[in-house]
Amino acid sequence: MIPPETTSKETSEMSKAGGPSEETAEAAPDLSALGVREGAGHAVHVKDLHAYYGQHHSIKGITLDCPANEVTALIGPSGSGKSTVVRCINRMHEEIPGARAEGSVKLDELDVYAPGVDVTAVRRLIGMVFQKPNPFPTMSIFDNVAAGLRLTGTRSANLRERVHTALRAVGLWGEVKNRLSEPGIGLSGGQQQRLCIARTVAVEPEVILMDEPCSALDPVATLKVEELIDELKERYTIVIVTHNMQQAARVANTTAFLLEGELIEHASTNDIFTNPKDERTERYVTGKFG
């Protein structure tokens, strides 16, 4: 279990902050009702992370700091381990048979790999958006967003409100408000992906991991998701995997370049793309390989 002091303090802080922020909701109506205080997100510290798939040693000791309320992009060629790193942050990596991870991942001071930590609690704090939109096919649009709350057994008196707020937060409200009871898989690909982000946001995590969230989307839908990421970082710490370097340049505060399971360079996005220190980074961002 996560030490009870930590979680209870956090939730009580959240509920306390929820009150006043709703009153000031007029300025930024879409996001502030979510109950998380602005500019007070949590940082992710990855230290000496090693990850294995069976015998295959895929992450070879990565240390990476993702500052609070910033977007950290992970770039690198296929097979460099970007996805594995983010899957280690919320402990989804170990769901793959034979996969394991060593090292430490900390959310502020909380080590998510500490013995006795409840993985479901970790994942509630660190949400995840996947490469392919994966709404639940048996559920309506409303139920899809509510799924996170229901699946975690969160009793919420204002479920409707939270679902509506999450849909507003991802800019989907106007498009779906008249058909909330229709199946979620009836939406377009881009809408489905924003629905999945709404589902993640509705649980009110502290960190959102995105594993190539736009690679199955067309350019217009991609732009919408990128704008959304920019808004979401006011509330959440975001780690995004992308193989699209323009996307990293557009959305990320800092960018980390991975190659063959090692972290080559992590610096401000501007530096990575205009003034990389490592020669391999330069060759990658200028398109000479990968």
Nearest distance, CB of residue 139 and another protein, angstroms: 8
CB of 234 to another protein, least distance (A): 22
Among 137, 174, 219, 287, binds another protein (CB under 8 A): 137
Confirm or reject binding of residue 17 to another protein (CB under 8 A). no
Q: Which of 170, 203, 252, 259 binds another protein (CB under 8 A)?
A: 203
The one among 63, 151, 188, 227 contacting another protein by CB under 8 A: 151
| C-alpha–C-alpha distance, residues 88 and 261, integer Å | 13
Using the rule CB under 8 A, is 130 a contact of another protein? yes
CB of 150 to another protein, least distance (A): 7
Among 5, 23, 95, 279, binds another protein (CB under 8 A): 95
Among 231, 239, 240, 146, CA closest to 195:
146
Instruction: Tell me the closest approach of the beta carbon of residue 207 to another protein, in angstroms.
Output: 12
CB of 23 to another protein, least distance (A): 29
Ramachandran area for residue 119 (φ above 0: left; ψ -120 to 50: alpha; else beta): alpha
What b/e readout covers 153-166, taking b as 16+ CB neighbours within 10 angstroms? eeeeeebeebbbbb
CA dihedral 128, 129, 131, 136 (to 10 degrees): 110
Closest to another protein by CB, 41 vs 276, is 41
Does residue 113 bind another protein (CB under 8 A)? no
Q: Is 215 in the site for another protein (CB under 8 A)?
A: no
Q: Contact, 73 vs 248, CB < 8 A?
A: yes
Q: Which is nearer to another protein, 52 or 136 (CB)?
A: 136
Q: Exactly one of 34, 101, 122, 272 binds another protein (CB under 8 A); which one?
A: 122
Residue ranges in contact with another protein by CB under 8 A: 90, 92, 95, 97, 120-125, 127-128, 130, 132, 134-138, 147-148, 150-153, 196, 199-200, 203
